[in-house]
Structure 1
Amino acid sequence: MGDTSDSFELFSIIHFSTLFLLVCLSLILFWQRRNIRSRNPAQLEFWERFAAVSLFAMEITYHIWLVASGRWAVDDSLPLELCSLSLFVTIVLLWSRNRYLVDFVVFAGIGGAIQAVATPVLDMNFPHFRFFHFFYTHAGIILTGLYFVWVKGYKPTFKGVLKTMIYLNAILPVIFIMNWLLSGNYMFLRMKPQNGSLLDFLGPYPWYILSLEAVAFTSFILIWLLLRERKNNGI
C-alpha cells in the first residue's frame, strides 16, 4: 500500500500542502454552505451516509494493514485514542444524524484533530496508505463538525463545552485502566510521544496531563467563540 522508506517530516512541504488542502476544503464548505443546505434532504442524507461508510472503510482497511504488516498490537492499536473515539462518534453522527453527538465532534473532535494534523504522530510519509488514512480520517472529523455547524444549523454553546469536558473526564479513568492492563499509552496518559508533539511544551509527566485539561478547555472555548460568532453575525 504505497511503501516508502521516508519517514514523515513535520512542517515539510508535504505537511504544509496537506494542511493547505484542508484549509481550502473548509473554506469551500463555508462558502457553499447555502447551496448545500438548499439541496434535496434525501441527497444530503445519501452523501452523509456515504461519508460515514468511507470513513469506516478507511479505518477498517487501516486495521487490516496493521495486521497484515505485523504492526497490530493490543497496547497501541485499539481505538482508544481521542481521535479514534472522535472518528467513531463522527461516523455514527453522519449515519444517524443524532444531535446529541454533535457537541463531542465539534469540540473534542475538531480540537483533537487539529492538534493531530498540526503535529502528526506519524511514521509513514506520502504516498503511503497510512499517510492517506491519517489525514483523511482527521480531516473527516474536522469537516463533519464544521458541516453540522455551517450546513445543518447546529449552534455551539458554552453548555456544550462543559458537557464535552465532562464526557472526556468520564472516559479518562477507563483509559487509565486500559493502559495499566495492556501496558499501553493511549491518549498519551503514561508518557509523551517520542517523536515530538505539542505535549513537549506542557511540562513533565504527570503534570502535563493537568496541562492537557487546561489546553482542551481553552481550545473548546476558542472553537465555541469562533463558530458562535459567525452564527450570531448571520454569516
Structure 2
Amino acid sequence: MIGKESSAFEMFSSAHLAVIIALFFVIILLFLSRKKWSFKPQNIRRTERLFACSLLVMDIFYHIWLFQAGRWSFSNSLPLELCSISLVMTIILLWTSNKHVYDFVFYAGIGGAIQAVATPVLDMGFPHFRFFHFFYTHIGIVITALYFTWVKGYRPTFKGIIKTMVALNVLLPIVFAINIFFQGNYMFLRTKPTNGSLLDFLGPYPWYILSLEGVTFFIFVVLWLVFRKKVVSANT
C-alpha cells in the first residue's frame, strides 16, 4: 500500500486546494477553541506525545517507502531540508515543551511549512502515501507551533528571531558541505526547485540565497509582531 503509485502531483489541483482549506479550517478551529482546553495536565501531555509519535511514525514509514521504491539516497533523503529539521524539532517540542525549541518551530517551522504547503516540492499526487505524509507532517509543524502559542501560552520574542537566524546560519555551511559531498540540493542551496516556488522571485543563483536571508528575517519579524504578547497599559 505504501508503495502504490498514483498520478503526479498537480499544484492547485482540487486535492491540493482541499488541503490548504483544511489547514485554514484547523487553524481557525484551534484559535476559536484556544481558551476552552480543560484537560488534565497528564492527559494533555499524553496527547502531545501521541501526536509526536504519529509524526515520527509517519516519517519512518516515509523512509521505508523510499527504501522499497529504490528512492532512498544520501543526496536527497537525509533530514536536512528546513522542514525536515523543523519536523524533528516539532517532535522534540511536543515531547519536552522546551521554550528554546519552540522558538525554532514557531519561526522556521511556520515560515517554511506554510510556504511548502502553498508551493509543494512533491511528485506524488492524491491518494499516494507520499501525498499524505507530506501534508500531514507540514501541517503538523504549523499546528504544533500555533497550539503552543494559543493554548499553552508560549509567546515568540525578538530574541527568538535572533536565535533562530543564528541557528539557520550555523546550519547553512554544514548543509552546503553535505550537498557538495553527496551531490545533493538540501535547502535548495545549489539550485531552485524545478517545479516552481517562491524562490523564483528572489533572483538567480546564488543571489537568491542572500535574498532569502532578508525575506526570512522579514517573515520572522511579521510573525513576531502578529503573535507577540501585547503589553496592556495599567490605565486601560
TM-score range, shorter chain: over 0.9
8 A contact 1:114–1:142 mirrored in 2: yes
**Helix, strand or coil at the partner of 2:36:** helix
Question: 2:212 maps to what in 1?
Answer: 212
What CA deviation, in whole Å up to 9, does each residue of 1:36-86 have, x standing for no partner? Answer: 2x3210110000000000000000000000000111111000000000000
Q: Is residue 230 of structure 2 the alignment partner of residue 232 of structure 1?
A: yes
Question: 2:176 maps to what in 1?
Answer: 176
8 A contact 2:62–2:130 mirrored in 1: yes
Q: Is residue 94 of structure 2 the alignment partner of residue 94 of structure 1?
A: yes
1:98 Cα deviation from its structure 2 partner: 1.4
Q: Which moved more, 1:54-63 or 1:1-10?
A: 1-10
CA distance in 1, matches of 2:49, 2:8: 34
Q: Is residue 26 of structure 2 the alignment partner of residue 28 of structure 1?
A: no
8 A contact 2:6–2:128 mirrored in 1: no
Question: 1:192 maps to what in 2?
Answer: 192
Amino acid at match of 1:195: N
Paired-residue identity, %: 59
Amino acid at match of 2:194: Q
8 A contact 2:93–2:101 mirrored in 1: yes
Amino acid at match of 1:130: R
So what's the TM-score if we normalise by structure 1? 0.95
**Helix, strand or coil at the partner of 2:122:** coil
Structure 2 gaps, min length 5: none
8 A contact 2:52–2:95 mirrored in 1: yes
CA distance in 2, matches of 1:214, 1:146: 24
Question: 2:70 maps to what in 1?
Answer: 70
Q: Is residue 44 of structure 2 the alignment partner of residue 44 of structure 1?
A: yes
CA distance in 1, matches of 2:16, 2:231: 33
Q: How many pairs were matched up?
A: 231
Question: 2:166 maps to what in 1?
Answer: 166
Question: 1:132 maps to what in 2?
Answer: 132
Amino acid at match of 2:17: F
8 A contact 1:4–1:125 mirrored in 2: no
Amino acid at match of 2:27: S
Structure 1 gaps, min length 5: none
CA distance in 2, matches of 1:226, 1:118: 20
Amino acid at match of 1:142: V
Q: Is residue 40 of structure 2 the alignment partner of residue 57 of structure 1?
A: no
Question: 1:8 maps to what in 2?
Answer: 9
1:5 Cα deviation from its structure 2 partner: 3.8
